[in-house]
Amino acid sequence: MKRLVPAVLLVMLSACNERKPENLNNAKETKIMEKQDKQQIERLLNEYKNSLNTSDASIAQSLYTKDGVFMPTGAPSAIGSENILKSYEFIFSQIQLNIEFYIDEIVVNGDYAFARTTSKGSTLIHASGATVPEENRELFVLHKEGGTWRIARYMFNKMK
């Protein structure tokens, strides 16, 4: 029995040591995947910013999941692709944005992520021709569908 205990402990320790490199490889792979996901999300946010600055409702809509939700300040939520498109078309008929996005945080957890951003620039109001300062903070909930990150939920509010 005295010989059996050390032998069992030795087997258990060697089994633990064998798993460590595998865990290290998984951790490295996870970090690489997370970095790639964050880069893809940054590109998505940049494409979204460009759709706002060019008033392209179709591109803005294409960046959402099919069941996405757009929650603009002072307006009803737009749920689903068709309503998201209509909402952006209406917004772009009223204003022209000229903004820059600043990414404050991106957190990835599997096929979901969130991004917290701020934006700053100006807005041309078509009805009056006036240009006013624009400054918002935004929250994006993202979902990875078929290997592609899309906006699942998006809301913003004025900072000033």
The one-digit pLDDT tens for each residue of the chain (160 residues) are 555 444 444 444 455 544 455 566 677 777 778 899 999 999 999 999 999 999 999 999 999 999 999 999 889 999 999 999 999 999 999 999 999 999 999 999 999 999 999 999 999 999 999 999 999 999 999 999 999 999 999 999 998 7
Q: Where are the domains of the chain?
A: 4-158
Class of domain 4-158: alpha beta
Q: What is each CA distance from 113 to 38, 47, 117, in whole angstroms?
A: 9, 17, 13
Is the pTM value of this prediction over 0.85?
no
In angstroms, the CA 101 to CA 140 distance is 12
What is the predicted pLDDT for the residue at 110?
93
How far CA 94 is from CA of 88, 116, 123, 127, in Å, comes to: 10, 26, 10, 7
Tokens of 2: 């005295």
What is the C-alpha separation between 67 and 92, in angstroms, rounded? Answer: 22
pLDDT at position 22: 57
Whether 112 and 142 have beta carbons less than 8 Å apart is answered as yes
Q: Indicate the SS3 state at residue 103.
A: strand
